[in-house]
Structure 1
Amino acid sequence: MGRRKIPHVVKLDSGESYLGRSSANLCPRDFLEGKYQEALGAVRPVTLYADSTLHHVDRIRALFEEYCSLLHLDPPQILQECIPARMENFLHWMLKTYTIKKTSTVTTYWRQLSQLHILWTQRRVDPQVLRQIFVFIEGPLTKEYGLDNMDTEKPLLEAEEFVELIRYHWASDINVFHNERQRLQLAAILLLAAFTGSRPHALLCVTYRDLDLYVEKEQDTDTHHVKLGVKLTKTKSGKKRKRPKTYTFNLDDNPVFCIITHLVGLAFDDEAFAAPGLVSPDILFRLKAKGESGCQQIPFKQDILDTLVFRRAVKTKQGVQTSPTAGLIDSIYQSWVKRLGEALGYVQTLTTYCLRRALGNAVNDDPNSNAAVRNLVLDHVGSSAIFERNYLSRIIRYSTQDAFWHREPSHESAKAASRIGRLRDRNRPKKLTEEQGVQVREAPAILELLASRDRLRMDILGQFGALKMAEGEPVYDDYQALGRTINSTVRAQERALLRHIQEEYDITAPVVNIQRQIQGDFPDCKEPILAEEAMIKIPERRRIAEAAVSDPARFTGEKSLLRHIKCCRNMIALCKKRESRTAKITPPPALPFTDSPEATSRKGPETPRSNPLKCRGFQCLFCMMSNLPTKDRQQRFKSKFSLQRHADRCRLNQFMDGDRIPCPDDLGCAGVVLKGKLHFKNHAARVHDFVL
């Protein structure tokens, strides 16, 4: 029990004293009366829902209100009465109005409606009504509308496939990130997801306050090892009592699979360490623990403790940089993971939950573990039902055949059947070709919508003279809505066509492969890596890729530590790099700009240029004076209009109309600052032949 607060006695130099706070003011009567009246008038929920849950409940509220407005009903009253026939009628309306194919979707909508009932009435739905609606959904409703009531197969990304995924990410992935720190962050998040089995939101919300980096002395071997504790505080029940979990990690044999090396690299990139002399991984990985305690903390700066570790890239006036505050968005991270799965040829969609389910099943299969540990790892409080219903693989991971014959069990083949890479095919179509895209846009429904938009556009031009002059008018809103309808229809048609092509491929590809094997044309089942995937432009990434595919058994003792240090150095340097996209425009054979380091090394020392740089053809002055590769700096655009689009969207969009814009040519126009975009364009055209 807490101690009673007592008045504070303040003593003066003269020997007198007074009470700084009287006992009557500790909890005055007016305060209690005010809180009592506030409680009488307040309407508080009987349970605390997460923000994402409230978002879904708000969506079902809008749907329920739309249904009630159709029948001229009062939504709160109807939901408070909760008559089963009315609830069933609402579900009929949902299935008639929206494209719903699975029974589980209808069940989810009913659960969300019951949550809305709690928020509106402050009490739960009658259990008998709740059960009656569930039975109605599973039975008559599913049969009437032909809903799919089969659970979707939930694949696992286990250790062997995870190793291949990380190696592909570093050595073969041809996708370009906004900057290379994003590539390092993706690898670190995937490692955390594999080792903790946590939900994506919990991983993306990790701050430096949640990291406990320290050096520990092993008493048996008298050696010092860097270790890391990661505390995950953003659990699913975020508005209830906080129940953080802490995971402890050691240095891995291979630094590419070591979460400590990744997070230390990110911390050095953020200059996060409090010790002024701790400026390189050479120093950090050689620190020793204090003798009396056997542990040495490695603190972070106080002003960076609440900074997110994983942050997204943003456009600035200096180019694309990592935001100091904006965290990585879950949708961006999920798109990266999905893109990796598609590149590896996984038929099923790769998500973080493939790693989460894999760790849950691994802990469940471990004879040294138990249900309590598994539930703690997966954040399933108090019950194993969640794991058994949603996480336990429906593919039996136990050799029942060996058990029947009383043989020594061999479970590996049974476990392999639940892996996501079992049906891997890198030749499976991932996107539509240009011809197929044109085919979609020439569909009759799309052409009819385009014709309607063209007619509406002509009406606007005839009435207002220009589209922008009609902004704010109803006809302009109709024009914009029609454009959005066209875009959504095209995307839906593209998805449907791609799905149809993939289904046809899944049927024909096995037959073709078997025929090739029978004819002797397919002797090697190992899929080769495409030549374009093996090209890595950035040296630091190339060295990390070499470490990913090398055998860690060859490095022991001091060599292993040096390997971690070198890999961490490359990761730190990689954070500052940005891989250029493949230019679509073929550069001319004559290269007018030769200020590159390669050209300088061939020609020998030259005097610095003092004349203003001249653009030849449709070259970009910003690109020519940037630190991009020579090929990208010297490229010429196809036309003046493509050059204008590039300059306006990629360069000048960082400045407002009245901003002061420095001339990019810091040699020929050193110190020249232009007042606004118009002044800059005039200067660029007159001095540099950079016509915008």
Structure 2
Amino acid sequence: MRYPSDNPKDLYCTSMTDQDQIFNEGEDLFLPNSSTELETDINSNGDGDDNDNDDDGDGNEIRLFGGNAYPPVYYRQDYQAFNNEDLAVGDYAPGVEQTLAKIAEQWEQFCTAILRQDAQQCFATVSSALLYNFLNWRLNQKEGKNGRRMKGFKTKSSLVTYWDNFRLFFERSRGMKLEPKINRVMHQGLRKLAKIHGLSDQRRPNRCMTIDELKEHNETTLNTTQKSFDLGELRVLAVLFNLLIAPAGARPQAILRLRFQDILIVLARDPAGGPHKLLIKFTPEFTKTYLGAKDCKTYTIPEAIGDPSFLLSPHVFLLGILFRHKAFRARGLVSSRQLDSLPIHPGELELRIPLRQDLHNVCVFRKAAKTVTGFEMTIEPITYSMMATWIRRIGEIMGLQYSTIPYNLRYNAANEMDQNPRVSEATRNLALDHGSSVPFQRNYLGRAIPLDLWGIMRGQNPQHALVKQSCTIGHSISKRRPTALTAEQAASITTHPDIRRLEKQLRGLSPRSKACKDTRRKIRNEKQRLKRALLQKNRDDWTEQQAVDDIERHLQGRDFPVVASENAALPQRPAQKRLLEALTTPGDGTLEDYYRRRCAAVDAIVTYCPVEEGRTPGRRTTQGPLIPGTPPYNSGYHSSSKDDPVSQAMLSVFVKSKKDRPKRCFLCIGAARSLGWNDPQLPQLLREFYTPGDLTKHFRHRHLSLIKEDETLTCQVCELPLEHKMHIQNHALRVHGTVS
């Protein structure tokens, strides 16, 4: 008999009267045949004597069922239906599960399409020859589903990782591990395949990012306009991420998945005396889940009162995010000024500052989504690839030779803990989630030894600082290092043989056919790939080429050339200037001045979070004034009259007849009304399209496609509420002449 419900509790009543009714209806599961026998068994065992050996089986079953959630029949059936394979499957993270699913799909393709055999049959007759040819086939694959380019292998270590994942897939599919003999032979095969396919045997440099380099990285993140974020809050979160991972050395994914309930703000007494200090306690819960979840660890960061700069203060950036979302449970706590005077009860050491309960399951690091008129924060967490892309781009703007990754900060934390005599080996392994010291020695201990070994051997004063500087990721920093292709280099991509072949193929296709769309997509993707490869080659070759050029210039008596400014960079917004100024303004060393500067920095972060930055501009977005006869927007011109550029743009989007077709977007102009007169985003919002048809394409793709059928919207130009999507389209055509 099987239960119709997934929860067997649902079938059993909570009162003995209901149980007797069910049992007496003829269900002969485990009870005596009559109620008299039931009473006799209960009375005989209810006097407290030790008569267990004299009880029969039915009496024991009755007594067990009396205080348990399930009857014995439930456990009998689970015992009979138990499947050993349910426990044989490893407990892996979602990312590993996706990798194993891809390997399973590729194994199925290889067996059915190449060998013309069943995948399970191939497993039954697995051999080193079969596995070697499978890996060789995988290395030769360039395109995947729908003609998309597959991620290839560049290093031998990535091939070894793929092989390790394949062994997990084999063990899961067959319920047994691969034979040791085949595994040993395949290690020889991996080395041979790496040579045949030209894979590099050098691992990724595990250089550290020191605290001084982190400070410059944060300053570049806040100062640059070569990299834009959809919202100012994302720029702040990019800095906060670095400031949380740097002291803890936690895995980047664990920091990205921090929720508000994982963070605790505490005001604590200083045992050494002085003012109360803020403590940040955060407990990453979503750590690496290989072979089960790890024990949660809490990291505590005390406030460093007297810092000359807040670029290395996680307290300021976190408080800015918390006050931005009004995250404190105490409703009256709305400003950082109120934190300065909070008291701690006499006889107590700490005062907790709780956060709102409705934010407990909300991630701190969240994405921003495009809306009809701008961007807004969502509840979807920022992915590792997105954060890694931001950090790598900032590293390029800084002029670093090696690509910066979040693990640079984890490497630094691991090495600093290893070299500090106050941190034991066990504490280091606990903080890094390592079961032993082997992972640290293999992956985290810098392969560029940061010690003056020759000075030690000679008995001289070791120059450790100099050697350490040369071994970090910032040793090669240079603002002259190229960060983008020149116009000539970008134009040279069109002469590449692959691009010419695809464009020739495109000319023979019907303009609206699916093959034409696919070919256009291939051309676009191939151009992007070639541009990235060319830029990386330029960056790799630049160091030695520029060194030779500098030497020759010096020998010829010439000075260093002036570094050309980046034309594509937009001017800073006023809020961005205020933010950087508030974070870097030095103080006079007094406690009152520190509180004043901290409050100003938090307020600047709160103000900058809702600022819409938009997408990073391309190289060809620079243009002059969009409205003839008006001065540039950054020239200091401002007027509240009709001569104001925004006012002129508003007047230009109203039609006088049904045949009028303006060339400006009324929704973009409505969004421009809320911006400052010198905001760099104004030219993009007030621009005039070349034709009304171009405006129609913009309106459809940029605005209309994001509107749901029952979504309401307000026309900021007319200050008129629009009830649904059809109403918006009707208003756009009738009032503003925009065809959709």
TM tier, smaller: 0.7 to 0.9
Q: CA deviation at 1:376?
A: 1.8
Could you tell me which of 135, 145, 150 is aligned with 1:91? 135
* Aligned with 1:316 (options 371, 378, 393): 371
Aligned mates of 1:301, 1:152 — CA distance in 2 = 42
Give the structure 1 partner of residue 500 of structure 2.
Answer: 447
Q: 1:358 aligns with which of 412, 416, 421?
A: 412
Letter in 1 for 2:627: P
Report if aligned partners of 1:46, 1:123 keep a CA contact under 8 Å in 2: no
Is 1:298 the counterpart of 2:343? The answer is no
Q: Which one is further off, 187-196 or 29-38?
A: 29-38
Distance 1:57 1:601, change over 3 A: same
* Alignment partners' CA distance in 2, 1:278 and 1:336: 33
Quote the Cα distance in structure 2 between the aligned partners of 1:412 and 1:675: 65
Q: What is the CA distance between 1:514 and its match in structure 2?
A: 1.7
Instruction: Say whether 1:328 aligns with 2:382.
Output: yes
Among 204, 212, 229, the alignment partner of 1:160 is 212
1:94-137 deviation digits (Å, cap 9, x = unpaired): 34446544322221221111111111122222334323322442
Aligned length: 646
Alignment of 1:31-430 (within 5 A): 31-40=74-83, 43-69=86-112, 70-97=114-141, 100-138=153-191, 140-221=192-273, 223-237=275-289, 240-252=292-304, 253=307, 254-317=309-372, 319-323=374-378, 325-381=379-435, 383-430=436-483
Cα distance in 2 for partners of 1:148, 1:59 equals 24
Distance 1:249 1:283 in 2: 21
Tell me how far 1:292 sits from its aligned partner. Answer: 2.3
1:255 counterpart SS class: coil
Q: Residue deviations 1:601-660, cap 9 Å, x none? A: 9999xxxxx999747962322233331344435433333233223322333333246766
Letter paired with 2:72: R
Partner of 1:651: 703
Residue 386 (structure 1) shift: 0.9
Question: Is the aligned partner of 1:561 residue 2:606?
Answer: no
Is 1:599 the counterpart of 2:639 in the alignment?
Answer: yes
> For the residues of structure 2 that align with 1:661 and 1:152, how far apart are their CA atoms?
50
Q: Distance in 1 between matches of 2:206 and 2:593?
A: 41
Match of 2:56 in 1: none
* Secondary structure, counterpart of 1:256 in structure 2: coil
Amino acid at match of 1:321: E
Partner-residue secondary structure (3-state), 2:88: coil
Q: What residue number does 2:491 align with?
A: 438
Rounded to whole Å, the distance in 2 between the matches of 1:310 and 1:8 is: 46
The answer as to 2:669 corresponding to 1:624 is: yes
Partner of 2:689: 637
Does the C-alpha gap of structure 1 residues 597 and 290 become closer, same or farther in structure 2, counting only changes over 3 Å? farther
Whether the aligned pair in 2 keeps the contact of 1:80 and 1:117 (CA below 8 Å) is no
TM-score by length of 1: 0.84
Contact kept? 1:174, 1:533, Cα under 8 Å: yes
Find the aligned partners of 1:235 and 1:271 in 2 and give their Cα distance.
28
Q: Deviations over 1:477-528 (max 9, x none)?
A: 5444434433333333333333343344334211111222334443699x89
Residue 662 of structure 1, CA deviation: 4.1
CA distance in 2, matches of 1:100, 1:318: 42
| Alignment pair present for 1:536 and 2:583 | no
Contact 2:450 2:467 survives alignment (8 Å): yes
Separation in 1, partners of 2:577, 2:373: 26
Q: Is the 8 A contact 1:197 1:377 kept in 2?
A: yes
Distance 2:614 2:676 in 1: 7
Q: Distance in 2 between matches of 1:545 and 1:160?
A: 17
The answer to whether the 8 Å contact 2:401/2:540 transfers is: no
Q: State the Cα deviation string for residues 446-496 of structure 1 (Å, max 9, x = none).
A: 2222232332316xxxxxxxx3xxxxxxxx554444344333333333333
SS in 1 for 2:380: strand
Describe the shift of the 1:564–1:453 C-alpha distance in structure 2 as closer, same or farther (beyond 3 A): same
How do 1:500-519 residues align onto structure 2 when only pairs under 5 Å count? 500-519=537-556
Cα distance in structure 2, aligned partners of 1:101 and 1:221:
56
The offset of 1:597, in angstroms, is 11
**CA–CA separation in structure 2 for the residues paired with 1:137 and 1:493:** 29
TM-score for the superposition, normalised by structure 2:
0.79
Q: Residues 403 and 292 from structure 1, CA distance in 2 versus in 1: closer, same or farther, beyond 3 angstroms?
A: same
Note if contact 2:265-2:281 (Cα within 8 Å) is conserved in structure 1: yes
Distance 2:393 2:196 in 1: 38
Range moving further from structure 2, 344-353 or 499-508: 499-508
Q: Give the superposition deviation at 1:58.
A: 1.8
Q: Name the CA shift for 1:21/1:277 in 2 (closer, same or farther; >3 Å).
A: farther
| SS of the residue 1:456 aligns to | coil
Structure 2 counterpart SS, 1:39: coil
* Conservation of the 8 A alpha-carbon contact between 1:537 and 1:579: no
Tell me what 2:536 maps to. 499
Q: Mark the CA change 1:8 to 1:428 in structure 2 (over 3 Å): closer, same or farther.
A: same
How far apart are residue 215 of structure 1 and its match?
A: 0.8
Q: 1:20 to 1:257 in 2, by over 3 A?
A: farther
CA drift of 1:278 comes to: 0.7
The two structures, once aligned, show a CA RMSD in angstroms of 3.5
Give deviations 1:119-176, integer Å, cap 9, x for gaps: 11222223343233224423x4444554422333222211121111111222334322
Cα distance between partner residues in 1 of 2:668 and 2:204:
49
- C-alpha displacement of 1:333: 1.3
How far residue 28 of structure 1 moved from its aligned partner, in angstroms, is 0.9
Alignment partners' CA distance in 1, 2:85 and 2:315: 49
Task: Please give the alpha-carbon distance, in whole angstroms, between the structure 1 residues aligned to 2:341 and 2:226.
Answer: 35
* 1:523-542 CA-partner distances (Å, limit 9, x unpaired): 699x8987986942123x32
Letter in 1 for 2:640: T
Among 560, 563, 581, the alignment partner of 1:546 is 581
One-letter identity of the residue aligned with 2:333: L
Gaps of 5+ in 2: 1-12, 17-61, 143-151, 645-649, 656-660
Aligned mates of 1:42, 1:229 — CA distance in 2: 41
Moved more, 351-360 or 443-452: 443-452
Structure 2: distance between partners of 1:184 and 1:456: 48
Distance 1:67 1:227 in 2: 56
Contact map agreement 2:653 2:662 (CA 8 A) in 1: no
What is the CA–CA distance in structure 2 between the aligned matches of 1:85 and 1:23, rounded to whole Å? 61
